[in-house]
Amino acid sequence: MGQEQSKTDFVDLKFFLGLMFMIYGAILVVTGVYYFFNPLSSISSNVDVYWGLLMVAIGSISYYKSSKPSSWKKAFAHPGIEHIEERLKGRKRSDGGT
C-alpha cells in the first residue's frame, strides 16, 4: 500500500469540533448571563447558561483529546498530491498513451 503517514501529520476532526463547541457554548453562556441580569417578561429560566456550559465542557474534552499535529505548516500542506499526480500520469501512459 505504500508509505503510511503518522497521526501527527494531520489535524483531527475532534480539534475543530471542540473549538466550535467551545465558541458556541461561550456565546450561549454570555447571552444567558446577559438575560439573567436583563430579564425578559416571558423567560423565567436560564437554559442558555446550562446548555452553554455543557457545550463548553463537551468542546473542551473533545479539543484536549484530539491529536494535534507536530507542525501546523506540515498539517495544512498537501504532502501526497505529488504522488497522486505521478500515479495519474503513469496510468494515462499505460492505457495506450491517451
Q: How confident is the model at residue 73 (pLDDT cuts 50, 70, 90)?
A: low
Q: Are 31 and 47 in contact (CB under 8 A)?
A: no
**In the prediction, which pLDDT does 46 show?**
82
Whole-number pLDDT of residue 22: 95
The pLDDT of residue 93: 55
Burial (CB < 10 A; 0-12, 13-18, 19+), residue 25, is buried
Tens of pLDDT, residue by residue over 21-65, are: 999 999 999 998 888 888 776 666 788 899 999 999 999 999 898
Instruction: Say if residue 15's pLDDT is above 50.
Output: yes
Residue 2: per-residue pLDDT? 46
Beta strands in the chain (DSSP E): none
Closest CA to 19 of 53, 64, 51, 52: 64
Reply yes or no on whether the pLDDT at 78 is more than 90. Answer: no
